[in-house]
Amino acid sequence: MAFHLDLLALSGNEHLVETVRTLRSKSRLFGLRAPEKTDTLRESSLEHAELVNFVRKREPEEAQALLSRHIQRALVEWRRNPTG
């Protein structure tokens, strides 16, 4: 979760960061496998690194497209394995 909160903090919007922190702590996807126990951890880590590169290079369209793919992939994984 730290990566996601650190990325949000770059926006300078502390209210957004705290809102997401609170929501994630309250809705922590109970029953799902931890990412480190799936094949998705490596792919997710690569996406995180790519996202940081897009942010550093100030390429918002590429960052937005990657975030959309990243979130969709996570949703598919969660739906595939709702009980762990």
Question: Model pTM?
Answer: 0.67
Alpha-carbon span 72 to 68, nearest angstrom: 6
At residue 10, the 3 state secondary structure works out as: coil
pLDDT recorded at residue 63 = 94
**Cβ neighbours of residue 76 under 8 Å, at least 6 residues apart?**
none
Alpha-carbon span 79 to 30, nearest angstrom: 12
Minimal CA–CA distance to 4: which of 38, 35, 30, 31?
Answer: 35
- If you search the block for the tokens 């598919």, which residue do you land on? 76
Q: What is the pLDDT of residues 70-79, one digit of tens each?
A: 989 888 877 7
Average pLDDT for residues 45-69, to the nearest whole number?
A: 93
Q: What is the pLDDT of residues 8-39, one digit of tens each?
A: 898 899 999 999 898 877 765 554 555 555 66
